[in-house]
């Protein structure tokens, strides 16, 4: 193996490319050639490093540079790589130097451990060797050699890992259902149809660490007795699709997938299935219909997929982030995992923080951090300098939390006791200059478009809510519109066929509780 004295890890995800990462890489290559040090320094392209602008980390020093432009490269190469003097003006702020992906909260939150994003940003996702060097596929080897399927399920069960896609169902329990169902054919599906507006954590995991997903699927397959898996990726996620396909191919070549893995009698294959741009396909039974080549309409439950899923066979559907936790749980044990986070909410959670704030991006924090801490310490306040009005957490179907309630802790129990959910982990901060009616109209439009049309409460309900919001937004509403909308929301919550219609009403119900007065501004004078 060739030896390099330095490695430059360069973030080449979509936002970095937009900021000019390609130009930076080309200039860097040119400079290395010019200085004749191509053989000493290796450039590794990776996913997001979690910073704004083009960023890179130079190892072995581990120094992080951000906001790099092609014209900075000459100085960087001469000073850092040749003379060994870091270029201070380009270095990321002191406090974040130690940490790569999670950024600045490292100092604030002692004992933070990154599980899901462990490798994202520190390895080349297209190189399987680098994943193996970071203990990759060790967990798979361990379970195949040391554990029975039942033991694997017990480890996952004891870790108290809960699904990270939104419903928070205990993962180990789900696996056990399928394990206990007798069938000659079982399936594992990775749900990567990330459609919740504001979420892109799964995309970054797949772009930054695709092998973790594949390894986890293989472990799951061994535990439940499946030999075929599907990864259902959004059709729009071009880079994720390419990286996952490459990772599958490499894993097959190394016999981490295929026949007789690690010389055991366990065989497992994975196929990629592309989505077609339908939000409802994130619902597991709709996703299964879509893989079967049908319209992605949800099925009647029960039977649930763990008993009767794809092609009528027992099937596990797990979210990307859920799966990415599995190899680490196997390697470090369930007690280690349980100690992270708070009681009832084991482990960490990846949040995407967005909106009118200074630091947008992806963070992985232990469960139990408060919304206020996220806003003040991580997001660093609003970018426009205006007051923040509310946060919409969990995506469009999530809850609206007004600024007064920002003390709430973001763990499953606390949220559930206030009838909230962190859903897929989006936190969108909205400032005071956005009118609530304008915002809700945008939410309503989304659901009107994405309702699949199978059941009446959701199909007609999302349509009517949009009509109400359109009227209110034009200040042509009636006073009775709001009470009618409240009734409609209750009907949809109770009578919709699947989670889409049931959850679509959440933001509207919250807004009617917290911002009724402002919504009333959309009522035309004199109209009752």
Partner 1 sequence: MTCCNVDVGKILKEYSEEKGNLMEILHKIQNSSKENYICDDCMKKISDYTKLPLNKLYGVTSFYTMFSNKKRGKYVIRMCESCPCHVLGAEAVINSFVDELGIKVGETTKDGKFTLEHCACLGLCAVAPAVMINEDVHGNLKPEMVKDIIAKYE
3-state secondary structure 380-397: CCCCCCCCEEEEEECCCC
498: closest CA among 323, 338, 282, 290? 282
3-state secondary structure 433-467: CCCHHHHHHHHHHHHHHHCCCCCHHHHHHHHHHHH
220: closest CA among 160, 266, 278, 272? 266
5 binds partner 1 (CB under 8 A): no
Three-state SS at 5: coil
Options 135-143, 214-222, 425-433, 493-501: segment touching partner 1 (CB under 8 A): 425-433
Q: Which residue has the tokens 């129990």?
A: 413
Query: CA 197, CA 282: separation in Å to the nearest integer?
Result: 12
Options 37-45, 78-86, 120-128, 293-301: segment touching partner 1 (CB under 8 A): 293-301
The maximal CA–CA distance of the chain, rounded, in angstroms, is 80
Phi-psi region for residue 273, left (φ > 0), alpha (ψ -120 to 50) or beta? beta
Q: How far is the CB of 426 from partner 1 (least distance, A)?
A: 8
18 binds partner 1 (CB under 8 A): yes
- Stretch (H or E) spanning 355: strand 348-355
Q: How far is the CB of 436 from partner 1 (least distance, A)?
A: 12
Which residues, numbered 119-178, are part of the site for partner 1 (CB under 8 A)?
none
Query: CA 127, CA 44: separation in Å to the nearest integer?
Result: 10
Which one, 136 or 198, has the nearer CB to partner 1? 198
Three-state SS at 401: strand
Q: How far is the CB of 14 from partner 1 (least distance, A)?
A: 5
313 binds partner 1 (CB under 8 A): no
Query: CA 30, CA 276: separation in Å to the nearest integer?
Result: 40
312 binds partner 1 (CB under 8 A): no
Q: How far is the CB of 418 from partner 1 (least distance, A)?
A: 21
Range list of β-strands (E), 32-138? 41-46, 56-59, 63-65
How far from the centroid of its chain's Cα atoms is residue 474's Cα? 35
Which one, 319 or 334, has the nearer CB to partner 1? 319
Number of residues that bind partner 1 (CB under 8 A): 57
352 binds partner 1 (CB under 8 A): yes
Query: CA 462, CA 448: separation in Å to the nearest integer?
Result: 5
Q: How far is the CB of 507 from partner 1 (least distance, A)?
A: 9
328 binds partner 1 (CB under 8 A): no
474 binds partner 1 (CB under 8 A): no
**In angstroms, what CA-CA distances link 350 with 8, 322, 366, 426, 509?**
26, 10, 9, 9, 26
- Which member of 28, 115, 278, 412 binds partner 1 (CB under 8 A)? 278
Q: How far is the CB of 395 from partner 1 (least distance, A)?
A: 9
Query: CA 253, CA 329: separation in Å to the nearest integer?
Result: 26
Which one, 433 or 476, has the nearer CB to partner 1? 433
The angle formed by the CA atoms of residues 93, 97 and 98, to the nearest 5 degrees, is 150
292 binds partner 1 (CB under 8 A): yes
Which residues, numbered 393-422, are part of the site for partner 1 (CB under 8 A)?
396
Q: How far is the CB of 161 from partner 1 (least distance, A)?
A: 24
- Which member of 156, 346, 354, 469 binds partner 1 (CB under 8 A)? 354
- Which member of 44, 116, 452, 523 binds partner 1 (CB under 8 A)? 452
CB 351 within 8 A of CB 427: yes
Which one, 62 or 453, has the nearer CB to partner 1? 453
- Which member of 434, 491, 495, 520 binds partner 1 (CB under 8 A)? 434
- Stretch (H or E) spanning 336: helix 334-339
Options 34-42, 108-116, 292-300, 338-346: segment touching partner 1 (CB under 8 A): 292-300
Q: Which residue has the tokens 């030896």?
A: 3
296 binds partner 1 (CB under 8 A): yes
197 binds partner 1 (CB under 8 A): yes
* Residue 527: how many other CB atoms lie within 10 Å: 12
63 binds partner 1 (CB under 8 A): no
Query: CA 127, CA 211: separation in Å to the nearest integer?
Result: 9
Which one, 175 or 279, has the nearer CB to partner 1? 279
- Which member of 209, 215, 364, 450 binds partner 1 (CB under 8 A)? 450
193 binds partner 1 (CB under 8 A): no
* Residue 83: how many other CB atoms lie within 10 Å: 9
Which one, 411 or 510, has the nearer CB to partner 1? 510
Q: How far is the CB of 149 from partner 1 (least distance, A)?
A: 25
279: closest CA among 503, 10, 54? 503
Options 15-23, 210-218, 413-421, 457-465: segment touching partner 1 (CB under 8 A): 15-23
- Which member of 290, 315, 334, 496 binds partner 1 (CB under 8 A)? 290
- Which member of 22, 69, 134, 295 binds partner 1 (CB under 8 A)? 295
Strands 63-65, 56-59: pairing is antiparallel
x/- map, 222-261, partner 1, by CB under 8 A: --------x---xxxxx-----------------------
Binding site for partner 1 (CB under 8 A): 14-15, 17-18, 194-200, 203, 230, 234-238, 271-279, 290-297, 311, 352, 354-356, 360-362, 392, 396, 426, 428, 430, 434, 439, 442-443, 445-446, 449-450, 452
């Amino acid at each position: 193996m060739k030896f390099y004295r330095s490695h430059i890890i360069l973030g080449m995800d979509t936002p970095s490319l937009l900021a000019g990462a390609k130009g930076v890489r080309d200039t860097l290559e040119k400079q290395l050639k010019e200085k004749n040090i191509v053989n000493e320094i290796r450039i590794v392209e990776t996913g997001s490093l979690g910073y704004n602008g083009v960023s890179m980390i130079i190892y072995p020093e581990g120094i992080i540079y951000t906001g790099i432009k092609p014209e900075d490269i000459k100085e960087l190469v001469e000073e850092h790589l040749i003379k060994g003097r870091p270029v201070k003006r380009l270095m990321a702020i002191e406090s974040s130097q130690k940490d790569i992906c999670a950024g600045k909260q490292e100092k604030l939150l002692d004992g933070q451990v990154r599980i899901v994003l462990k490798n994202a940003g520190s390895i080349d996702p297209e190189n399987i060797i680098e994943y193996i060097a970071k203990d990759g596929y060790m967990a798979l080897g361990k379970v195949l050699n040391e554990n029975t399927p039942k033991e694997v399920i017990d480890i996952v069960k004891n870790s108290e890992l809960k699904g990270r896609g939104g419903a928070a169902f205990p993962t180990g329990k789900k696996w056990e259902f399928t394990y206990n169902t007798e069938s000659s054919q079982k399936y594992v599906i990775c749900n990567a149809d990330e459609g919740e507006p504001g979420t892109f954590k799964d995309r970054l995991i797949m772009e930054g660490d695709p092998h973790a997903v594949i390894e986890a699927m293989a472990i799951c397959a061994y535990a439940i007795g499946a030999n075929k898996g599907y990864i259902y990726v959004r059709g729009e996620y071009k880079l994720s699709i390419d990286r996952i396909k490459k990772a599958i191919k490499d894993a097959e070549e190394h016999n981490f997938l295929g026949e007789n893995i690690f010389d055991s009698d366990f065989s497992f294959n994975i196929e990629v299935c592309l989505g077609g741009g339908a939000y409802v396909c994130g619902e597991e039974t709709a996703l299964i219909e879509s893989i079967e080549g049908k319209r992605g309409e949800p099925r009647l439950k029960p039977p649930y997929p763990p008993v009767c899923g794809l092609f009528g066979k027992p099937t596990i559907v797990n979210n990307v982030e859920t799966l990415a936790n599995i190899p680490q749980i196997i390697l470090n044990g369930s007690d280690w995992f349980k100690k992270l986070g708070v009681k009832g909410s084991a482990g960490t959670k990846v949040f995407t923080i967005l909106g009118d704030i200074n630091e947008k991006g992806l963070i992985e924090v232990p469960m139990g951090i408060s919304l206020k801490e996220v806003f003040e310490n991580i997001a660093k306040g609003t970018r426009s300098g205006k007051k923040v009005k509310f946060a919409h957490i969990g995506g469009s179907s999530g809850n609206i939390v007004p600024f007064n309630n920002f003390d709430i802790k973001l763990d499953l129990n606390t949220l559930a006791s206030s009838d909230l959910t962190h859903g897929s982990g989006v936190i969108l901060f909205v400032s005071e200059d956005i009118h609530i009616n304008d915002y809700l109209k945008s939410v309503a439009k989304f659901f009107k478009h994405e309702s699949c049309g199978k059941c009446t409460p959701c199909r007609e309900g999302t349509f009517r809510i949009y009509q109400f919001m359109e009227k209110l937004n034009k200040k042509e509403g009636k006073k009775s519109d709001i009470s009618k909308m409240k009734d409609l929301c209750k009907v949809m919550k109770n009578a919709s066929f699947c989670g889409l219609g049931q959850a679509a009403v959440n933001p509207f119900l919250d807004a009617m509780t917290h911002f009724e007065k402002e919504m009333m501004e959309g009522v035309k004078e004199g109209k009752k």
